[in-house]
Each structure stands twice: as C-alpha cells, then as structure tokens.
C-alpha cells in the first residue's frame, strides 16, 4: 500500500484511540491486573493495529481485537524478560490462564470502566489521589488538565497518581465493583470523580473549544450506570445536574464558537428532553431522604431551566438553595456562585461585596471566574477602572480561548 493510501487508516486508528482507548485500557487492567503493564499493552496494541490492519484489513470488532492483541503482547513481553528474571515465567503462565478465562466471560461482566472507577476510588488510597488517578486512567486527561481542576501544580498531581498506582499494586487492591454493603461508603469519591469528568467536558480547562462533548457524554453514561447499580438520591441528583447543564450546550456558543452567557442564550436551543429527564430525576431525589449537595445543585439548575428568560428566573429561590448548599458544603466557589445569584436578586453591589470578601480572605485569588465576576459587577456599577483591572486579571489566569476572547471583548468595550 502506498504511503498516501495509509493516511485514512492512521486517521481511523487515531479516531479509535480517542473513542475506545479508555475502554480498552480498563479491560486490559482487569485482564492483566497491573496499571503499567496494561498501559504498555494498550500502546503495543495500537502500534500493531497500524501495521497489521494495513496488511490484513480492519477487523469486524476493532475493540475486541485491540484487547486480545494487547493481552498477547503483554504476555509475550513477560516471556521475553524471563531470561533476566525466571520468576516471570510463572507470572506469564498464570496470567495467560487467568486472563483467558476473564476475557471469555467479559460479556457477562459489568462495565470495566465502572470497575476501574471503584478501584481508583478505593478507601485504601489517599483521598487526594483517588480523583486524579481516575481522571487520568478513565478519561485520559493530562496531568496539567487535572492540576488546573485542583488548582495545584502538575508535579503534585503526577506524584499523587504514581503513589496511588504503587499502593494498588503493592496492596493488591481488587479490580471489582464493591458489594452492596460496601457501596454507600465508596459512593462519595465516585460521584466526585464523575462530576469532575463532566466539568472538564462542560467547561474545558484549556484549549480552543469551550466544551468537550466526549467527556460530557462519558460522565453522563457513567452516571446512568451508577444509577442502575445504586439508585440513591445523590446519584439521581448528580445525573440530573449533568443532564440539566448539558441541555444548554448548544446555546452556550454562537455559530462562530464564541461564548454566550446564560442571560443571552437562545433558550429554544436548550434540549427539552434532557431538561424533562433531569427535572423528573431531581423530583424523585428530593422526595426521598438523604439528598445532599448534588441534589441541591441540580435543584438550582432546574429553577433556571423552568424560566423562559433571565428576568423571569426565581432568583429568590436560587439564593435560598445556595444558602442551603453552603450549610452542608462550605466552599468559596459556591459562595462565588451565590454572589452572582445575589447580584441578580439585590443588585451588583450585593454581589461585589461578597466577592471582595472572598478575595480579601485569599480564597480564589488564582481563579479567573472570581475576577471575571468582580469585573462584571464593577462594570454594571460604572466603576470602569476597577472593571478593567479585574478583567485583565481574569485574562491572565484563563487558559481557554473562547473565554479569553469574551474577556478581551468586554475589556475593549470599556476602553
């Protein structure tokens, strides 16, 4: 085959990597019992695909081919190393027996990515490592992206991930969904993981696009799987929250990819099917007992979805829901969001007072949305110099191009 004919194949393999690599990796971790061995097998399998599919054609089930090839590559690699370490022969032999049986039963087993999430969120792991590890392994987020979500350095995130993998290997943490009795105590970490995955998709931490649709869809899919496994109020609340947020996706940018604020969005573009499903879920969740922060956040989003425009939004109810949310989950980010709602109810000075208090405490000093909110309140109050200063600070901190262009436009309007 000529080189120019090979280009479509490489494009296909690249697309498959984007779409399937996390699924293949999760299955390889289950089959091989080791993160590093599975990651090496994953890359070996995709490298083999480029070579062999060019010669033999693309298989009918590419994902199954990649899993099988990765498994064989890992076992072959172990056997090649036997001359340096004879103990690897027994490992390779047992691995071949165990993984063959596991692969044959794969169709009857629960989703491997859900299994992997519970492994990454095992209580034996440090809480500050559970979410970064899962974001890295399940969603292939770079350490830089995860670091921005955590507001820490990439080196810190990398160290947490390495320590977590070592702990899983050394303590032989099982790769399985917990028993029904164990599920509730493990749930909080898993919900946090899924929500961070969604947030990275809904408002990408960097890059040319405001959203990453693949991550939003993945988080919603994982939320549905979790709801099947454990139909608890907070699971319903998280799924409702993601559906209600995602329902606005088409209206959040214009035809040129530019950011459109909630107050300016064409609400006819909102996905009514997702809104209806989300509202039904949150109604079910709030009717029961044990609801928490995800349910309250979903309730806030449901109030927004019920309004035909910003003017008709029930800001009194939204502020009240934020008050309840702050009581059970104190957070400067939630305070910031409440400040925005407060400004809509009581005017921009009320919002500015709250944001200034947050910043004076030293909280959110490196969070661009805090400075953007302050800039907007100052702009609405006619305090132009302060607005320009805050917009410039927000611009220094944001790494997402649509947000940068929006802030630059706001700044130009004040010149």
The whole-angstrom separation of Cα 28 and Cα 112 is 9
Handedness of CA 272, 273, 275, 280 (dihedral sign): positive
- Is 80 exceeded by the pLDDT of residue 151? no
Whole-number pLDDT of residue 107: 46
Residue 31 C-alpha from the chain's centroid: 25
Which of the residue ranges 80-89, 187-196, 315-324, 361-370 would you say has the lowest mean pLDDT?
A: 80-89
Whole-number pLDDT of residue 145: 81
Whole-number pLDDT of residue 259: 87
Q: Is this structure's pTM higher than 0.85?
A: no
Q: DSSP string spanning 61-82? A: SHHHHHHHHHHHHHHHHHHHTT
| pLDDT tens digits along 212-249 | 787 888 889 889 988 987 889 999 999 999 999 999 99
Which of the residue ranges 18-32, 38-52, 262-276, 369-383 would you say has the lowest mean pLDDT?
A: 18-32
* Average pLDDT over all residues of the chain: 86
> Once rounded to an integer, what is the mean pLDDT over residues 38-45?
93
Nearest to 200 by CA among 152, 157, 136, 156: 136
| Both structure tokens of 28 | 């390889």
**Residue 247: CB atoms within 10 Å:** 23
Tokens 């490992």 sit on residue: 91
The whole-angstrom separation of Cα 38 and Cα 20 is 14
Percent of the chain's residues with pLDDT above 90: 52
Tokens 């939204």 sit on residue: 318
**Cross-strand partners of 400:** 207
Which of the residue ranges 130-134, 159-163, 275-279, 313-317 would you say has the lowest mean pLDDT?
A: 130-134
354 close to 334: Cβ distance less than 8 angstroms: no
Nearest to 168 by CA among 136, 143, 133, 131: 133
Nearest to 187 by CA among 292, 281, 289, 283: 292
Whole-number pLDDT of residue 289: 78
Mapped onto helix, strand or coil, the DSSP state of residue 259 is: strand
Cβ within 8 Å of residue 33, ≥6 positions away: 95, 98, 175
Whole-number pLDDT of residue 108: 38
| pLDDT tens digits along 327-366 | 999 999 999 999 999 999 999 999 999 999 999 999 999 9
| pLDDT tens digits along 290-321 | 789 999 999 999 999 999 999 999 999 999 99
| pLDDT tens digits along 382-405 | 999 999 999 999 999 998 888 899
| Both structure tokens of 189 | 């970490």
- Is 50 exceeded by the pLDDT of residue 4? no
Whole-number pLDDT of residue 178: 81
């Amino acid at each position: 085959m000529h080189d120019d004919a090979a280009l479509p194949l490489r494009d296909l393999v690249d697309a498959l990597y984007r779409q399937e690599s996390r699924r293949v990796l999760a299955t390889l971790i289950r089959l091989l019992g080791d993160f590093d061995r599975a990651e090496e097998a994953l890359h070996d399998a995709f490298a083999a695909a480029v070579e062999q599919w060019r010669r033999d054609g693309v298989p009918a089930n590419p994902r199954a081919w990649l899993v099988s090839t990765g498994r064989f590559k890992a076992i072959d690699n172990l056997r090649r190393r036997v001359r340096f370490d004879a103990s690897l022969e027994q490992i390779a032999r047992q691995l071949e027996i165990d993984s063959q049986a596991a692969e044959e039963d794969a169709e009857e087993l629960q989703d491997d990515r859900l299994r992997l999430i519970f492994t990454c969120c095992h209580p034996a792991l440090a809480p500050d490592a559970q979410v970064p590890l899962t974001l890295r392994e399940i969603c292939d987020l770079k350490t830089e992206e995860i670091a921005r979500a955590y507001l820490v350095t990439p080196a810190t995130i990398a160290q947490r991930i390495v320590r977590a993998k070592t702990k899983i290997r050394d303590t032989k943490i099982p790769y399985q969904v917990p028993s029904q009795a164990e599920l509730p105590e493990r749930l909080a970490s898993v919900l946090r993981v899924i929500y961070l995955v969604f947030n990275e998709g809904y408002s990408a931490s960097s890059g040319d696009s405001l959203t990453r649709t693949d991550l939003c869809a993945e988080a919603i899919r994982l939320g549905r799987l979790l709801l099947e496994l454990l139909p608890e109020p907070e699971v319903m609340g998280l799924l409702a929250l993601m559906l209600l947020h995602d329902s606005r996706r088409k209206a959040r940018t214009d035809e040129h990819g530019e950011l459109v604020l909630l107050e300016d969005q064409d609400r006819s573009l909102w996905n009514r099917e997702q809104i209806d499903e989300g509202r039904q879920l949150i109604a079910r969740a709030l009717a029961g007992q044990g609801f928490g922060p995800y349910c309250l956040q979903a309730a806030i989003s449901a109030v927004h979805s019920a309004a035909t425009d910003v003017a008709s939004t029930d800001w009194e109810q939204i502020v009240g829901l934020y008050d309840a949310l702050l009581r059970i989950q104190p957070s400067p980010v939630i305070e910031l969001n409440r400040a925005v709602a407060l400004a809509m109810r009581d005017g921009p000075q009320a919002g500015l007072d709250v944001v200034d208090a947050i910043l004076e405490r030293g909280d959110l000093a490196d969070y661009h949305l805090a400075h953007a909110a302050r800039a907007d309140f100052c702009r609405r109050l006619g305090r132009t110099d302060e607005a320009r200063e805050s917009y410039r600070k927000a611009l220094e901190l944001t790494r997402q191009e649509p947000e940068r262009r929006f802030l630059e436009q706001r700044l130009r309007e004040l010149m």
